[in-house]
Structure 1
Amino acid sequence: MEPRDVRAAGAVVTRKGGEVLLVHRPKYDDWSFPKGKLDRGEHVITAAVREVAEETGLDVHLGPALSRQRYRMSNGRWKAVDYWTARVAGSDDVSRYRPNDEVDAVEWVDWKDAQQRLTYSYDRATLAEARPLRRRTRALAVLRHAEARSRNGWKKDDRRRPLVRLGETQAQRLVPLLAAFDVTAAHTSTSTRCVQTVVPYADVTGWPVKVYDELSEEGATVEGVVDLVDGFLDGDLDAGSAVLCTHRPVLPTVLDALQVPDVELEPGSMLVVHHRKGRVVATQHVEP
């Protein structure tokens, strides 16, 4: 049996003015994007944000995902690297970066110069893929609530059906994933299982939770869902990125209103929809 791929994650970080962030690794004498291996049990999205921070000193928020790189390393094993486009949260000044044995230089480089500076052809391909996606987008994370008590085993009002322990764990694991996409508000069905799914994120970040009967199984209508979705795309309901938590029967209506293909979301998973000026730019299916 062949060993599993070595998993890593990183980001193509850009800023206004047409520059991209590159790092130099003295061990390999190469120029590349900030990236690194996943810690044991770490989600690939969390790893991407962490590795950029560790290698550049900058905190970032992720944009659309890019194609996975897969290549053979010098030891013969295969490495798979997941990338996202990204923007810096806060100051993008790297002049105070302290060189170390792993990364001894961090520079903002013009796009054309970056194509020449990058050492590997697969990085140059990733840069070309990122270029049309470099403009800032907002994210709408369409989330199916985490694992809840069985409907058959719950004899009370179904709206009050809570999460099971696995669901509570899933809700906690969503916290860094939503933070990676700069979610600044949680919009959720009034049902307990949906509210419980987003409350851990609100508790950690302090961002508000807003409840809507239009997102519940009992109160959802096509017109109500379309009005909500249009409010997100137009920026009327939320000027930043947001999470929308609802139920499996309501999800097709939400995705249809977004004019994206229907996907089967398991409990606690989400479709991250990146949009700009009312238009969907990219989507990504994310498991918790």
Structure 2
Amino acid sequence: MVTRKGGEVLLVHRPKYDDWSFPKGKLDPGEHTVTAAVREVAEETGLDVRLGPALDTQRYRQSNGRWKAVDYWTARVVGSDDVSGYRPNAEIDAVEWVPWKDAARRLTYDYDRDTLAEARPVRRRSRALVVLRHGKARSRGGWRKDDRLRPLVQLGEAQAQRLVPLLAAFDVTAVHSSSSTRCVQTVTPYVDVTGWPMKLYDELSEEGATTEGVVDLVDALLEAGEGAVLCTHRPVLPTVLDAIGVPEVKLEPAGMLVVHHRKGRVLASEVLQP
């Protein structure tokens, strides 16, 4: 659900159903819901967006009797939010920014009005701190060299590639990683595609992690005012999450906890597993 400064929300009109709703669409085969959310908004409105806090999943019965589930996030436009040049087509024939107080009347469905009401408290722009566990690595028992040099396996490399659009969806512009090879390899595809800088820290490695070092880095990232990813190891995750002030969660290899924050205050968090 895309909003902009000034209290407006983006709505689309579908001529096939003669309804007003939020931009949405279907998953491509193998596509992550986060990636689909950004892609569908771009395809339906021409706008490039980045995601904020997640909203409740809509579940409703369609005219054919089948149930449908739709995942939503709040979102903000990156770049121009001008839709005056939108070209109508058979799927979407109108895209409009609508004042918040008018949107509830314009929307066709009650479940969209519920989503609109849910989004209001979290509609203001926030930043994301993505806590990322490195991808699947070679087994510790089968590695005879320095453990800091233990690399990803083929699955881990594929996971690293699939992380690229997910990190981009949350407007990550700074990459902070353990200096261990398996963490560096996990975020390198994102750095290669985007060109954003990467900083390496012994303090995020299993061997060099300290509570003081982790707390200092987390505090700096929450105050920095930019989207960031922090890639580390399973044993270090509890220290990172405690420093942020969120409950401990279990992340699979290449899993991430997305922490949405504003002015140093955590607003919401969500777990995205590979």
Calculate the TM-score normalised by the size of structure 1.
Answer: 0.94
Report the Cα offset of residue 75 of structure 1. 1.4
Partner of 2:272: 286
- CA shift, 1:74, in A, is 1.2
Q: Please show how residues 70-81 of structure 1 align to structure 2 within 5 Å.
A: 70-81=59-70
Q: Which runs of no fewer than 5 residues in structure 1 stay unpaired?
A: 1-11
2:243 and 2:71 map into 1 onto residues whose CA distance is 29
Summarize deviations over 1:27-63 as a string: whole Å, max 9, x none.
0000000000111111100100010001101000000
Q: Residue 77 of structure 1: CA displacement?
A: 1.5
Unaligned 5+ segments in structure 2 are none
**1:236-280: per-residue Cα shift (whole Å, max 9, x none)?**
xxx310100000000000000000000000000000000000100
Question: 1:212: which partner in 2?
Answer: 201
Tell me what 2:166 maps to: 177
Partner residue of 1:83?
A: 72
State the alpha-carbon separation in 1 of the partners of residues 55 and 215 from structure 2: 29
* 2:5 corresponds to 1:19: no
Q: Deviations over 1:133-179 (max 9, x none)?
A: 11111100000000000000001000000000000000000000000
Whole-Å separation in 2 of the counterparts to 1:278 and 1:49: 26
The RMSD of aligned alpha carbons is: 0.6
- Equivalent in the alignment of 2:228: 242
Alignment partner, residue 8 of structure 1: none
Cα distance between partner residues in 2 of 1:121 and 1:271: 31
Give the TM-score normalised by structure 2.
Answer: 0.99
Which string of whole-angstrom CA distances, capped at 9 and with x for unpartnered residues, describes residues 98-151 of structure 1? 001100000000011001110000000000011111111110000000000000
Q: Runs ≥4 in structure 1, deviation > 4 angstroms?
A: none
Q: Are positions 1:38 and 2:15 aligned together? A: no
Pick from 82, 87, 99 the counterpart of residue 93 of structure 1.
82
Matched, 1:103 2:92: yes
Q: 2:184 aligned with 1:198, yes or no?
A: no
> What CA deviation, in whole Å up to 9, does each residue of 1:170-211 have, x standing for no partner?
000000000000100110000000000000000000111100
The one of 128, 133, 150 aligned to 1:139 = 128
Whole-angstrom distance in 2 between the partners of 1:204 and 1:102: 32
- How far apart are the structure 1 equivalents of 2:50 and 2:24? 15
- Cα separation, 2, equivalents of 1:72 and 1:64: 25
State the number of aligned residues.
274
1:264 corresponds, among 250, 258, 267, to 250
Structure 1 residue 213 displacement after superposition? 0.7
